[in-house]
Amino acid sequence: MELKYGVNPYQKPARVGILTAIDNGQLTIDNDSELPFAVLNGKPGYINLLDALNSWQLVRELKVATGKAAAASFKHVSPAGAAIAGTIAEAYRQARYCDPVSSYGDWIALSDTCDEATAKIIRPMVSDGIIAPGFSAPALEILKGKKKGNYTVLSIDANYEPPEIERKDVFGVTFEQARNNIKITRDLLKTPVTKAWNIPDSAKLDLLVAMITLKYTQSNSVCYALDGKAIGIGAGQQSRLACTQIAGDKADEWLSRNPPAKPSTRQEIALASDAFFPFADNIDRAAKSGVKYIAQPGGSIRDVDVIYACDKYGIAMCFTDTRLFQH
């Protein structure tokens, strides 16, 4: 598929396709291989497709792990919000309002067929496009009317599985690695290493949402989750403390917009980190936002200090032994 341009307008030519190796080891696009998605409306750009393919993987994995409809709101190849719910319409509504400022002009991913109710929620939103495994006829007509008829709508083959090996090119050098196919399940939530040891099922569900969200977030990254929603995401920072602060500020803002039914109720937040916490200051910041449950890989030379900080705040923390970098 020929694209208008690449990441920037001056990066031409640009195209996407399926890569295959030829005899001399060089890579070429196989013009006979069909893409796993179809363009139903509009014309996707380079960044649109990066968002689409990453966000689709996120919502597909969320649905498999939780059994619920999942939606994500993506910006610049990282989620601004992600959520699970009983219906796909509610999942997207929740995902969009995790961080409505960052979601302005988002790319939308749905785990299930986009129905009319979901399309009506999307219609007034400022958004670049959507990917889903299917669209009802009324939903497609609604979405085709967005952006003066230029709204991008992609239908993804839900059964498509990519090759086990993935490649990318940087400065003329081709990188190759096994795809990140690790399954994020409750099995990763081992017995907490802290004095607080009980993690209820509701918190485990939130930790799954947070970890799967991080798997498709540019690293370094930290995610706060509550009631099946990623309410604060700190992405792409050089400092893990900055990730924790940014995500915590977003979570605080979400909490201010969504106070508990009983004013005296303290909502207990779950937090996941894509790599270990190097210092206890991350825990200090997390505690300010009401974090009570943490999942992180562990492995820092200061793990004892981090555990001590959790004990001070009554936080239950488990080590997953699983790093979730995305680059």
What string of DSSP letters covers 198-257?
Answer: ---HHHHHHHHHHHHHHHTSPSSEEEEEETTEEEEEEES-SSHHHHHHHHHHHHHHHHHH
**Which of 24, 148, 181, 327 is an active site residue?**
327
Gap between the Cα atoms of 133 and 239, Å rounded: 37
Beta strands 152-156 and 127-132, pairing class: parallel
**Which of 41, 48, 54, 220 is an active site residue?**
220
Q: Is 198 a catalytic residue?
A: no
Query: Where does residue 156 rank: exposed (0-12), middle (13-18), buried (19+ CB within 10 A)?
Result: buried
Q: Is 220 a catalytic residue?
A: yes
**Which of 48, 54, 63, 75 is an active site residue?**
75
Rounded to the nearest 10°, the torsion over CA 241, 244, 246, 249 is -130
Checking phi first, is residue 79 left (phi over 0); if not, alpha (psi -120 to 50) or beta? beta
* Identity of residue 180: N
* Identity of residue 15: R
Q: Is 43 a catalytic residue?
A: no
Instruction: Note if the bond before 13 is cis, omega within 30 degrees.
Output: yes
**CA proximity to 270, closest of 248, 243, 291, 240:** 291
Q: Is 159 a catalytic residue?
A: no
Helix axes 46-66, 201-215, angle to 10 degrees: 160
Which positions are catalytic? 75-76, 220, 327
